[in-house]
Structure 1
């Protein structure tokens, strides 16, 4: 049975139509209404596709690859805007062209193999070679040159330079009064997005992202790339937290921004960490708190089993309040910050 990658490449290179299906089983031309994609087989739209033979066999969601091909003629900024409008993840500017070229290739290049007859010919030619003198080799003498006096003189000078001196200790300045940062995944399949994170963390109310997105459209509200949350403390003071979902926004905080990142919420997809300071998830979750949210009636992404992340199960209701879940989230985050980044203002 062929893989989703082979089926996708076959459809692309034969210019065969790729069909979308909505939740009622009807075909649709609008990918935002689709829950599955039909190649030779019917796949969920967010099926991870491993690009076997491309840069460590990276993975991207199926819908991300399809939109990248359909919008390949657009400049990157326009492609990114269109992907966000379609609620589909986008491929970074660094990798976009190479991924598209990989998908459009109809055959892999054959690996070069050395001809054994040619190897033997080269060996015979080398046996008959005569080494010619050049400008440098002709100036070399035949008698050994002794530089004992020069070596001793240099050694004495080096000793005087290498005398131990009192080390000057510079105090390491740690940033003060800095608010912590939480990074969400930009994947459209993420349970926690920029549309629903504020009511979840501020009011302990979970609203599915697609419903929260529709509510924002109805109210003619646009989603920001930076959300600020004010969290009440027992002493009647408040602490400020920043929520983002991209490295581009994080870079606006300055060169030390990663010192303020305390939590990364992941969907288990490796492409999320592509531009992170630590692109390997095992390294990443040794330096930040890892969180994975999933519906209680659905299985956990197998990738996270080897990662140092905390899992939180959410009931799959249209809208519900779960104060214990959110309290547990904050409690774990407070404990991690107290141990690893006590200089942050929380």
Structure 2
């Protein structure tokens, strides 16, 4: 192993991007054979070179402000495709096999989604991953993660931070310079090999380099370009779907509907690729909330893994009119629920909505889509009205988010 400590998160992301093998082993020997996760004491990375790290070492990923160990991170990645109940059951089984060696930490569905998105390279930032040591603004971590997602060698912690200094060098350049071959230039050749001590200059420069505290009236405080670098991270809004089998919109077809503007049946071939997903995320530009870049929305069918504060992030609830859907909600009464969160009922165009939906009043948006027409090629090309329905739904969600206090850099503290 290198003298400078390697960051396990960057190594894991780099190995995933390059397709290198990740092996649980029972020894710190990089050539040790693979064993089961319950017997492993180390995790061996084979790309770009074989490196073995203790499997119980803490990482920069935090849950409830506590660092999560490498075994729990790797276990969450292995179970990225399974639903939350299966993930929790597998974690409990592994904890029984570990028998006191240190339990696997069960991540919530939002934490697991954020971790998997970051490891896959789909995102360069994570609200649960702390910056590298000495990297206060997170820029070096972001640059190193970007290189790792492209299969490049991730820089060591000490080298990346040491070369970048305190704002004297772009972190991306520091990551590149970490593997450069040092060569002499004209000045080094003319000066010869005798080192010159310039430490005395530091004492004279300290007078001019000392930083003065910013005053409230300073122009830098009101400078928007400087203030923008200090904005807090805003959590992603959440949309709840109906788990009912009679719902026209399920996890298998909701992405094509809300993001693509076209309805397909949930059991069709076009929708089957997302049929096993327990959570999804889609992107949408909300001009009245954040006009510069699309917002990411998290879609789930139930709140089983919700923390209390997650309810402040729910911006819409899709329903079929069946009140059993709200049994485990924070507000189990439909009338109370839709006082806080807008509801959406999607049925067939021309059909009357259920009496329960009508009884819930104007707080539940009632829309209809054209019935699906089976064709020889399995594709209905007459879905031009779907986008009109989708735009109406997003307009309602955006207006409600604006009224609840969603902004470019903040989310509401209560709804």
Common fold by TM > 0.5: no
TM-score by length of 1: 0.45
Max radius of gyration: which structure? 1
Identify which of structures 1 and 2 has the higher relative contact order when contacts are C-alpha pairs closer than 8 Å and 6+ apart.
1
TM-score by length of 2: 0.38
